[in-house]
């Protein structure tokens, strides 16, 4: 199915890939209802999976079924990004069927970025944390455009904590990175869910690209969320995750089971949400890994479509994107699919601030 031009420069409402309309409370014209207690779906883990205060009458959630999916993808050939695809070069299958309608196609260069930089501050990173802070700070200066992009900085050990909320100032964000302190266990998956919630809760009314960049060894020995739930949350929230492993080769424990398992966790978080894991050989190379993330963020495409025969029945719908140019098939990387469920966003905050 051929893609049409992006049909709307500004999108007044924000949609999730599972077909749920999420409101931030700033939009008028719709009735907000108090957040319900006892929700059990994995996507509602935004408000349940992490420790939080009980939802009061002043807090709200809103869920509504719609049938629109947005997917971010990259196209490569011979190890190089292809950044000049036209709509006619791309086809999409959702649940093995062509979409009922293709609603839009655009390059990522045109999309504002909303980036969550999530940094492991547990005891295990003490010996190389200075290099990691330097690489993260350089990334913020390289990746963000002041006029369009915003980011936040979140540290996590036993629980996630926002050091700097959304801002378009790389200097302020870098100061937050430098202010992170070490200590505690590693609640990686709690941090993923909290980061997704923060990205969803931003007040953007137009289309944005939501990204988590995680710096960690991939271990999870604290918190309440599992790996599968964290991945599902990111898929439903349309958040692409990039991970930078701190299991460096020059560490004595690099080859042991913990490092191997940590890298497997980081790879799954990235690949199943359409991102990529980077594995620097030594701590001094973490800056290069962040530079590769920044390059990729500007080489992606966004597709919006209406899936055929969509029902919010919990069914896993596989996404397949193919692209070719001048008779050559291109390598595509995108999230693998999503669960067709409703998503509820409550305005309570399970992260510390």
What is the reported pLDDT for 83?
A: 83
214, pLDDT greater than 50? yes
User: Average pLDDT in the 29-46 region?
Assistant: 33
Range 186-216 burial, b when 16+ CB lie within 10 A, else e = bbbbbbbbbbbbbbbbbebeebbbbbbbbbb
Question: CA-to-CA distance for 314 and 165, rounded, in angstroms?
Answer: 33
For 161-204, the pLDDT digits (tens) are: 999 999 999 999 999 999 999 999 999 999 999 999 999 887 77
Contact assessment for residue 286 and residue 135, using Cβ atoms and an 8 Å cutoff: yes
- Evaluate whether residue 59 is within a structural domain: no
What is the reported pLDDT for 168?
A: 94
For 215-233, the pLDDT digits (tens) are: 999 999 999 999 999 999 9
Strands 239-245 and 277-278: parallel
Rg (CA), the chain: 19
328: which 2 tokens? Answer: 């050559």
User: Average pLDDT in the 148-153 region?
Assistant: 94
What is the reported pLDDT for 275?
A: 94
User: 261 pLDDT band (50/70/90 cuts)?
Assistant: very high
Q: What is the pTM of this model?
A: 0.75
For 56-65, 144-153, 335-344, which range has the lowest pLDDT when averaged over its residues? 56-65
- Evaluate whether residue 242 is within a structural domain: yes
- Evaluate whether residue 180 is within a structural domain: yes
Q: Helices 188-200 and 227-236 meet at what angle, rounded to 10?
A: 10
User: Average pLDDT in the 202-213 region?
Assistant: 81
What is the reported pLDDT for 24?
A: 29
Coil/strand/helix, residue 314: coil
- Evaluate whether residue 224 is within a structural domain: yes
Question: CA-to-CA distance for 347 and 23, rounded, in angstroms?
Answer: 10
- Greater model confidence, 209 or 193: 193
- Indicate the helix (H) or strand (E) that contains 320: strand 316-325
- Evaluate whether residue 235 is within a structural domain: yes
- Indicate the helix (H) or strand (E) that contains 143: helix 129-143
What is the reported pLDDT for 250?
A: 54
CATH at 157: 3.40.50.410
What is the reported pLDDT for 257?
A: 57
User: Average pLDDT in the 100-110 region?
Assistant: 84
- Evaluate whether residue 222 is within a structural domain: yes
What is the reported pLDDT for 130?
A: 85
Could you list the residue range(s) of the whole structural domain that residue 235 is in?
Answer: 110-297
What is the reported pLDDT for 342?
A: 61
- Evaluate whether residue 285 is within a structural domain: yes
19, pLDDT greater than 70? no
- Evaluate whether residue 291 is within a structural domain: yes
| Domains held by the chain: number | 1
DSSP code at position 251: S
- Greater model confidence, 240 or 206: 240
């Amino acid at each position: 199915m051929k893609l049409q031009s992006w049909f709307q420069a500004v999108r007044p409402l924000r949609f999730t890939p599972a077909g749920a309309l999420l409101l931030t409370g700033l939009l008028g014209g719709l009735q907000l209802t108090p957040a319900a207690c006892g929700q059990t779906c994995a996507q509602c883990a935004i408000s349940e999976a992490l420790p939080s205060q009980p939802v009061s009458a002043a807090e709200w959630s809103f869920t509504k079924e719609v049938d629109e999916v947005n997917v971010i993808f990259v196209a490569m050939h011979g190890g190089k990004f292809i950044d000049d695809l036209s709509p006619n070069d791309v086809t999409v299958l959702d649940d093995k069927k062509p979409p009922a309608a293709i609603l839009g196609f655009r390059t990522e260069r045109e999309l504002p970025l909303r980036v969550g930089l999530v940094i492991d501050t547990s005891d295990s990173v003490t010996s190389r944390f200075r290099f990691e802070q330097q690489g993260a700070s350089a990334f913020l200066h390289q990746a963000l455009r002041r006029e369009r992009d915003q980011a936040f900085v979140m540290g996590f050990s036993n629980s996630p904590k926002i050091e700097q909320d959304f801002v378009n100032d790389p200097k302020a964000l870098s100061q937050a990175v430098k202010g992170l302190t070490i200590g505690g266990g590693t609640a990686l998956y709690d941090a993923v869910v909290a980061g997704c919630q923060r990205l969803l809760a931003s007040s953007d009314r137009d289309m944005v690209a939501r990204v988590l960049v995680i710096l960690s060894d991939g271990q999870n020995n604290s918190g309440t969320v599992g790996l599968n739930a964290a991945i599902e949350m990111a898929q439903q929230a349309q958040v692409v995750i990039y991970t930078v492993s701190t299991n460096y080769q020059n560490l004595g424990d690099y080859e042991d089971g913990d490092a191997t398992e940590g890298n497997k966790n980081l790879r799954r978080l990235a690949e199943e949400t359409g991102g990529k894991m980077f594995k620097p050989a030594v701590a001094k190379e973490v800056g290069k890994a962040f530079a590769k993330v920044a390059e990729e963020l500007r080489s992606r495409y966004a597709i919006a479509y209406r899936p055929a025969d969509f029902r919010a029945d919990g069914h896993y719908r596989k996404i397949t994107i193919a692209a070719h140019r001048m008779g050559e098939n291109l390598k595509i990387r995108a999230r693998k699919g999503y669960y067709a469920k409703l998503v509820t966003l409550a305005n309570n905050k399970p992260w510390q601030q």
